[in-house]
Amino acid sequence: MSNYSVIGKPIQRIDGYEKVTGAAKFTTDIRLSGMLWGKMLRSPHPHAKILNIDTSKAKKLPGVKAVITSADTLHIKYSNWRRYPHLMDETPLAEDKVRYIGEPVAAVAAIDEDIAEEALGLIEVDYEVLPAVFDPLEAIKDGAPQIHEGPTVKNNISEARHFEFGDVDEAFKKCDRVREDTFYLHPVSHAFLEPTNSVASWDLNGRLTIWTSTQTPYFIQTLLAMVLGIKEGNIRVIKPHVGGGFGGKMELFSDQYCAARLSMLTGKPVKIELDREEVFIATRRRHPMYYTLKTGYMKDGTLVAKEAKVYTDGGAYNAMGPTSLYLSGFFQIFPYTIPNYRYDGFHIYTNKNPSSAMRGFGGPQAEFTCDSQIDMIADDLGMDPAEIRLKNGMKPGHVIPGLAKVGSCGFEECVKKAMESTKWKEKKGKLPMGRGIGMGCYGFMSGGVFNWIDSPYAYSAAYIRMNVDCTVDVYIGSAEIGQGSDTVAAQIAAEVLGVPMEDVKVIRGDTDSCPPDLGAWGSRQTLMTGNAVKMAAEEIKKQLIEVTASLMVPNVVYDFDIKDGRVFIKDRPERGIELAEVVKTAVRAREGQALFGRGIYTPHGKGMVSPAYSFGAQVAEVEVDLETGKVNMIQVTTAHDCGQVINKLGVEGQLEGAFVMGQGYALSENLITDEGKVLNPSLIDYKLMRAPDIPDNFTSLMVETHEPEGPFGAKEAGEGLTNPNAGCIANTIFDAVGVRIKDMPITPEKILKALDEKKKKEGK
């Protein structure tokens, strides 16, 4: 690998000191003079017509400054799907009817929280309760309650996704064997530590400033302008530090709209914070899915054909569901080569809170079903599960007809490294009863080629200013939400310009000072924002080299580079000039102007999904208590191909955090509902992984390939790491006790039940 100064090194997070000392400011810390407190009234019914809303008593309560209902809105339906109006189905406050328990119907602003809460109790809403439907398989039946009206929504199917390549039916006929399995993937909450919250301030000049916990500041600016009926340029969105998002904060939400509208009505800043129960019942969740896989294969383990059919529980509104639906079908064929494939997916309305994007964006469901079935096929054939993966794994240059072209691909090396590190050959099938080892694999996008809001701007952009003292200011519109993207941006700028990390300052999350960016989703920021930062830095580097060349060797052609505070001739590195001197000369020649660079990145001709793909393999070892069914994680090893590693420490942190998140998805987390009501809306009853549940031994293996499309050859190390965990754990449990759980999550009760059924079947 190249001898970089900061690229590839284990760099501490540039925002780490603020966060560990408590100095970091989140939206919840914002306090403005004269600020009012906002609260939202929510529906107690899963499905009901709104006959009348009487706010008169609430308005008379001393301390209440404003009350709004849908009558105070512009009646504009919105979502991130601005490019596709038929998918825009949500309003800031419910209008004709409510479609899930927790849907907001009114909002108040008062001088304190207690008065705002009291005012909610004085709002009288007359409902006509309607029949409701809570399961997508019931919702698509003729005669089921219709959740959204209109000719485009038949049998509550809001969107269908279909793609196909090869000759699937003919390929199945030629297979030695065909197996079909059905799975159920459950709903889970993002469970971010910082609840959704916003502070909005409308000023006398007709400008709105909103501080909000979001992954997509530019989306919020654009969509607020649409639903408020004001120009984008008159809205300033500021994203302070964010306490987690995981896909759950990439859309416009009612708290942002209501805070803004109430501020416009009162002329005062308004703050709305959701409590933890509201987060569970009224924000987003990962899609529950009914998944059927039919796969044809040969006796030697070659995969020949696959057919996937998926019914997703979209909840009451589309949100980002149609994309999750599409991507789940797409990632069903990653990281394996399937020459013949058919996918039919259906996004279905139900009377539950909306499902939307969550870390992996449909990938965890796809990888759980795919990797579970891969192991079942290996068991059918008496093959080593690792060998069948190596036999069918993607390689560099692989083409998925009409969908994608894979550039760099270190999948094979990932599998082999994971096997070697865990002594796979020595352990697989040879551990005692109750102890098992298993594998899961994945491939994931490095930035989605999606522009739902029809933005005319670049996907990512960066402005860089280099000051006379060699300090560097990097302006980016991307969103640091805890994943370390600001540190990566600083490393890239520091590497190109030859300055130390401490001299780079990253300014982000403010639509007034930073260029538009489509935000933090789809593992896009290292590749897309990184490319923009690198382009901007190289523009400044070019200016510096031109000045150096004129100072050192006029009229002679040499190649120069910048490293460790010096500009020098590449072939004669002893000949050079201190960077500080070059910068001063360049600034003086520009009559005192700082050096400025601009970079923009938008992928063109990169397929339907992403400009690049990461790959990986994970091996886990578990112990299952045969009396209680409890699963204890012993050790986990993940080998990840993220191209050129930018920040080694950051990749390790992402690998470990992603596994713990996936572990919770596999074993314990479950958003339990009854007749549309969430029964466990608290962090006490919603079973996240705790420290004692996490394996003591975690090994991160980095497989470095070179991705031509990425900055310095880098690609993603974020969402994709979540995808293999559930399938890996399921396979490991099967190796330990010989039972296959297809109904998520894999709880101790399900394991014990399966063991009992196994004993009865074996006559024991």
Question: What pLDDT digit, counting tens, does each position of 502-549 carry?
Answer: 999 999 999 999 999 999 999 999 999 999 999 999 999 999 999 999
733 CB-side CA count, 13 A? 30
Angle at the Cα of 670 (from 667 to 672), degrees rounded to 5? Answer: 150
Q: Is the pLDDT of residue 412 over 50?
A: yes
Q: How confident is the model at residue 421 (pLDDT cuts 50, 70, 90)?
A: very high
Q: Report CA Rg, the chain.
A: 27
Percent of the chain with pLDDT over 70: 99
Rounded distance, CA 602 to CA 528, Å? Answer: 8
The phi and psi torsions of 246 (rounded to 5 degrees) equal 55, 30
pLDDT of residue 329: 98
> Which residues on neighbouring strands pair with residue 445, listed in sequence order?
613
> Across the chain, which distance is largest between two alpha carbons, in Å?
91
Q: What is the pLDDT of residues 310-322, one digit of tens each?
A: 999 999 999 999 9
pLDDT of residue 556: 64
Judge whether 261 and 186 are in contact, CB under 8 Å.
no
**What 3-state DSSP class applies to 413?**
helix
Q: How confident is the model at residue 554 (pLDDT cuts 50, 70, 90)?
A: low
- Whether omega for the bond prior to residue 745 falls within 30 degrees of 0, making it cis, is yes
Rounded distance, CA 697 to CA 183, Å? Answer: 30
Q: What is the pLDDT of residues 159-191, one digit of tens each?
A: 999 999 999 999 999 999 999 999 999 999 999
Q: Tell me which residue of 122, 124, 116, 106 sits closest to 58, measured CA to CA.
A: 122
> Which residues on neighbouring strands pair with residue 307, listed in sequence order?
294, 342
Q: What is the pLDDT of residues 613-668, one digit of tens each?
A: 999 999 999 999 999 999 999 999 999 999 999 999 999 999 999 999 999 999 99
Rounded distance, CA 76 to CA 231, Å? Answer: 15
* Cα-based distances in Å from 646 to 8, 471, 524, 615, 718: 4, 21, 14, 16, 13
Rounded distance, CA 482 to CA 491, Å? Answer: 16
Domains and CATH numbers, the chain: 16-23+459-601 (3.30.365.10), 31-130+193-244+249-282 (3.90.1170.50), 363-446+609-762 (3.30.365.10)
pLDDT of residue 607: 87
pLDDT of residue 183: 98
Rounded distance, CA 554 to CA 560, Å? Answer: 13
What pTM was estimated for this model as a whole? 0.96
Rounded distance, CA 754 to CA 93, Å? Answer: 46
Rounded distance, CA 608 to CA 623, Å? Answer: 42
738 CB-side CA count, 13 A? 13
Mean pLDDT of 116-139: 98
Residue type, 63: G
The phi and psi torsions of 143 (rounded to 5 degrees) equal 90, -5
Q: What is the pLDDT of residues 683-693, one digit of tens each?
A: 999 999 999 99
> Which residues on neighbouring strands pair with residue 182, listed in sequence order?
292
420 CB-side CA count, 13 A? 8
Least confident range from 187-196, 346-355, 454-463, 554-563: namely: 554-563
Q: Is the pLDDT of residue 718 over 90?
A: no
Mean pLDDT of 415-430: 97
> Which residues on neighbouring strands pair with residue 210, listed in sequence order?
200, 237
Judge whether 236 and 208 are in contact, CB under 8 Å.
yes
Least confident range from 102-106, 299-303, 398-402, 557-561: namely: 557-561
pLDDT of residue 555: 59
Q: Is the pLDDT of residue 1 over 50?
A: no
Tokens in use for 736? 């330990």
Q: How confident is the model at residue 36 (pLDDT cuts 50, 70, 90)?
A: very high
Judge whether 565 and 578 are in contact, CB under 8 Å.
yes
For residue 409, the Cα-to-chain-centroid distance in whole angstroms is 22
Token pair 């091996």 in the structure block, residue = 619
Rounded distance, CA 288 to CA 497, Å? Answer: 47
Mean pLDDT of 595-609: 93
pLDDT of residue 287: 98
- Exposed e or buried b per residue across 294-323, where buried means at least 16 C-beta atoms within 10 angstroms of its C-beta: bbbbeeebebbbbbbbbbbbbbbbbbbbbb
Rounded distance, CA 368 to CA 192, Å? Answer: 23
Cβ-proximal residues to 542 (8 Å cutoff; 6+ apart), any chain: none
Judge whether 106 and 91 are in contact, CB under 8 Å.
no
pLDDT of residue 764: 66
Rounded distance, CA 257 to CA 85, Å? Answer: 19
Q: How confident is the model at residue 34 (pLDDT cuts 50, 70, 90)?
A: very high
98 CB-side CA count, 13 A? 30
Mean pLDDT of 421-434: 97
**Structure letter (DSSP) for residue 25:** -
Helix H, strand E, coil C: the string for 459-506 is CEEEEEEECCCCCEEEEECCCCCCCCHHHHHHHHHHHHHCCCHHHEEE
Least confident range from 253-257, 277-281, 587-591: namely: 587-591
